[in-house]
Structure 1
């Protein structure tokens, strides 16, 4: 009897948490129009599978629905809208805009932001005080005759709706997912193939949307975090400009005179992760943009013509110290294309405890290969930076391929994207040597993509989503979590 009472007592103390209720608000793309077995393969259905039983995801998509109250089918006039409110969600994912881009609807486009704000407010007024996530529309592709399908116009979506949603998210401290950009990660050919009628994603396209929303839901964000105020606290007044829809801050530090760039995400991940670009800022930005959308900052400090020398690593030390004063994470991802490989590996070797991962793209890993064999003027400058002669360079041990012991001991993840036909920085004399030595030292976290058909250019000649996944996985491992 005592045992039974004990068991009963224990059972009564168990508290089963209610699932997190997620309302997917949207149009036919949310509904899953055109998808075979829609109830299993729409993006909300796939989102449910990704999130598991601790979430309850409901599909409140309505075919043809508009954000605009003056549109031909306002979402707020539909039964699904009231049902979504009655659901008292903990999270609301809003994806409306495709139908608004039709000419007869977009003539009322001046009200798009106002109507979006009102829709958001109606959910914020709920007793459940839900987390609001705004999503941009996915791309709308023209048909084979170059005509818009169903009148849905991608130019309106990309050039007018996206800026409006970005500004609204900033003003209201809302999270934002750029699905228009997310689709571009697939490459145009695959993205179109995932969109059978050029407007509605099929099951594969819905999977992309679900995966991106799942990532957002399983991470914490701080939309109110403002790098501007942090910079001003350090006596820095940056010049603000636009970087692919994100706010770019360009400045020179008052004391060390570093020329810097920081690009801020729309909503910062609470851990403030960042990727540190070495050289050629803005070139091939697909990875940077994808990380920005996931709450990373992108940072850059000018180390031109320093060739990864002690002068270069000193500048990086100074910028790293600033990054910590600004509240950024303690372990950035390092990104180096071409000669940028010199600084990322040389700094990382000195600071293995301050690095999440290293991404080298056709990276220079030995100055005796480049610039020594490619440019006499640059080689002379390089030797001056290192304080060596051509004779001393023969036995030089300060290259990225040297002294990898500390990095290998820390097992810092390394990603290498290489062109097999690289004529400027031959991979057999650079990255492949680094890879071989790193593995011999016991490092296991090295991922290499070799494109058999590319030369030194173009960079990022690999499946971007695979590279992104590798970077995010490295970040999750450093944080002791997993990425969905």
Structure 2
């Protein structure tokens, strides 16, 4: 009996948490812009209660709650839309459990304080609260930003005083149980501080719409005010500036899709993708964002490293000391990360990133290619690295490097291979002069899903599949020991070199006289580094 009671209690807690997983932002063009809402979303997603919530921003430019519109709005093209025209459709489509609404900037239609207009605003906000709460959702109101914050002397109609009156009325409703976040006092303090720190700072270039920093500050202030209202512990933690654009892109996709789906009436709003398509794409972006956002941060040979999970595999990216830039060049170590790292470290010092995903015991198989495809997309999406990568294949890593390059020649700047396996019949098969590896051969057959006879007849080993690389003009740079006993050069790189030249490909092989399979690389990695730099046009 006692156990049943405990289980019911735990279930009720789970249901209580699950019930608050759909958040909807509503507002005018400042909300539609998406930046402050995305900053708040980032804070919510950093809290366990909202980490996997469905969060939508359906703000709409020019919108009011009052239903008022000035004469000649938008050059006479259309009157201001009112949230109440679309609210029922939006609530039905989104089924929010929490609504965060920021209205007011447009509700006084940029005229002096007037009781009739103020009353229309009060009635509109009250109706908004009632309609939202009828669905069982909670609603939190956010006071509007400041009008003409940088040039208050131009506010000749004292419109900011109208916004003050709205904020005062909203705060007065707290006594009746309304949940209100008032950002205006903090915004004024922020503006006063910026006047001292940076006299050239501009919060709102047109007097209404905040710029980048303004949206970020609004997001922080709103999140700070939400935390106690939502019963969340600790302080809000926002996204990093580097990760923020990814979250914003995800939010904008959903915004455009749902605005189109719910049939708003405002002209000039770009049409969104169908909701299922946008949802699938946005889910992928959110997964990448969350993986990057939760990455374990450390240092590797004096360079920042982030470790994360990509496509279910452990992966990492090491970045230059001065930070990653959009389109940064990168080299992808396909196996044995950290072994003989001198070339990688030197490239990091020259602005490269070094990437790695764990694909142990996959031997360049089609399954490994799928993980590589996903990892490439992950890094392009989450870190905005260059669309063309240099593949670095040590030993069996050569199978991965050559095979992926043959599948995606347009995404490869070049290959640096070191004592590479170029034919799995040679290693681990041991079907030539080398000893091979019986254990690895069994693992390879399993991961490729082949019998030994099928493996021996396989025609997509790197030695067989060089023409796509040559046609794409991909340069190959190899370092080998000419007495390699484990991966015999006569069965691997020698065949590649001969065939690649016949295809018109460019290949350079550095041969270490008497060198065995180990050690890899060169004590002085300068030739490797210079070759890689040339591959990316540096």
Q: Which has the larger radius of gyration?
A: 2
TM-score (norm 1): 0.50
